[in-house]
Amino acid sequence: MQRILPVLILSGLGFLAGSEPSRAEITYPWCAQYGGRADGGRNCGFWTYQQCQQTVWGTGGFCQVNAMYRGPQPGMIPPPPGYRGR
């Protein structure tokens, strides 16, 4: 019991302190679907179609527009030079 109580207290404090949104919520305009199937991996971290295409080249994957992209957000990596949007 003496060992469990400190662990429970620390777990509770960690849970309360973890209310800040994650950086994983940042999305970009293009997604790479790896493996060519819906059950493969997915990465929505590309500003341009060309970036996405270069990433999936040779893997049997494809690129598609990210339906969840809502414009620039704080914390995003800036777009490449010459980027004009969709």
Element (H, E) at 10: helix 4-17
4: which 2 tokens?
A: 């469990």
Handedness of CA 39, 57, 45, 47 (dihedral sign): negative
Domain range list for the chain: 22-86
Q: What is the pLDDT of residues 29-86, one digit of tens each?
A: 999 998 766 677 889 999 999 999 999 998 889 999 999 888 877 777 777 787 766 5
Q: What is residue 75's predicted lDDT score, i.e. its pLDDT?
A: 77
Express the helix, strand and coil content of the chain in percent, nearest 5 each: 35, 15, 50
41: which 2 tokens?
A: 């991996």
Determine the Cα–Cα distance for residues 56 and 8; give it in Å rounded to an integer.
45
Neighbours of 31 (CB within 10 A): 20
Element (H, E) at 49: helix 49-56
Q: pTM for this structure?
A: 0.59
